[in-house]
Amino acid sequence: MSAAAAATGASPVRDAVEWRLAAPLGLTYVVFFAAPFLILLGISFYADAEQTRLGFDSWVKFYTDAFYLKVIFDTLKLGVFAVVATTILAYPLALVFRASSSRMQRVLIFIILMPLLTSVVIRTFAWIVILAREGVINQTLMGLGLTATPLNLLQTELGLVLALTQIEMPLMLLPLLAIMNQLDQNLIDASRALGASKWRTFFRVILPLTLPGWIAGATLVFASATTAFISQSVIGGARLVYLPALIWQQSMVVYNWPFAAVASLTLLFTVLTGIMALSWLGRFARTT
């Protein structure tokens, strides 16, 4: 049985991949993951919705229209906003987590995992209840006399970013908490003993050392926020259009598959660009 071979290599470092064991998952990926993407790429080179002529027309149409370029830009912007908002909230929480007893840490992890494990659809639904005209925020503001008429929070970018912040925050927190717990206390003590304030210690010691965790988290948040179709379409409404809604509408409503394929590959490139920018940032930070 080759499974055992992998498990019983006599030396801690083995010298070859056990290909027979990797093959089942590898082949599954080739057939059900890589092949579909190739088909997607192929269909994007049809010039018309009926898929009769080949040509670059779908690509040209997408990348020369100001409306679609703005959709790309808005999608990127939404991802960046989500990363910034989750970062501002997650770092302080991670610092509190680090300072907590192990019992308190378990409670905090439960609190963090809870929203992650409640369906995205339900979290989106929760934010409708909160942001609606008769929702929690408007009732609180009106009760406090801060506003006379209810604010429009649904179908605004602010409302969507707020909702995505809660929906994606666990993705930022989990890698951040892991690296925060591994941080060497001696380095922090040394910084403090040398007279650095807590602010300075945070920005000069803690932040640089936890950057790899932040990059892991930011990657997940960015990838997730830019593709959050249900949150975007339900909270953003029809007025705010992002790439996922465009893909869905073009493929399932308009049935222009070549154009949907172009939009879909654009989303893929957008996310990959974000991921590469983040990992470049990580390498840049390590060398300076």
According to CB under 8 A, which residues from 228 to 257 bind other proteins?
Answer: 229-230, 234, 244, 247-248, 251-252, 257
Tokens for 156?
């605004």
Distances in Å between the Cα of 146 and the Cα atoms of 139, 158, 168, 278 are 10, 18, 29, 40
* Residue among 139, 155, 156, 249 that touches other proteins (CB under 8 A): 139
**Separation CA 69–CA 17 (nearest Å):** 44
Q: What is the footprint of other proteins within residues 187-216 (CB under 8 A)?
A: 189, 192-193, 197-199, 202
- When the beta carbons of 160 and 234 are compared against other proteins, the nearer one is 234
Q: What is the footprint of other proteins within residues 84-123 (CB under 8 A)?
A: 88-93, 95-96, 105-106, 109-115, 117-123
Tokens for 126?
């929760």
Which range of residues in 60-68, 149-157, 167-175, 280-288 is near other proteins by CB under 8 A? 167-175
User: Considering the complex, what minimum distance in angstroms separates the CB of residue 284 from other proteins?
Assistant: 20
Distances in Å between the Cα of 166 and the Cα atoms of 82, 113, 142 are 9, 12, 23
- Going by C-alpha positions, the residue among 208, 218, 203 that lies closest to residue 277 is 218
**Residue 9 is a binding residue for other proteins (CB under 8 A):** yes
- Going by C-alpha positions, the residue among 250, 268, 271 that lies closest to residue 259 is 250
**Residue 142 is a binding residue for other proteins (CB under 8 A):** no
**Residue 174 is a binding residue for other proteins (CB under 8 A):** yes
User: Considering the complex, what minimum distance in angstroms separates the CB of residue 42 from other proteins?
Assistant: 9
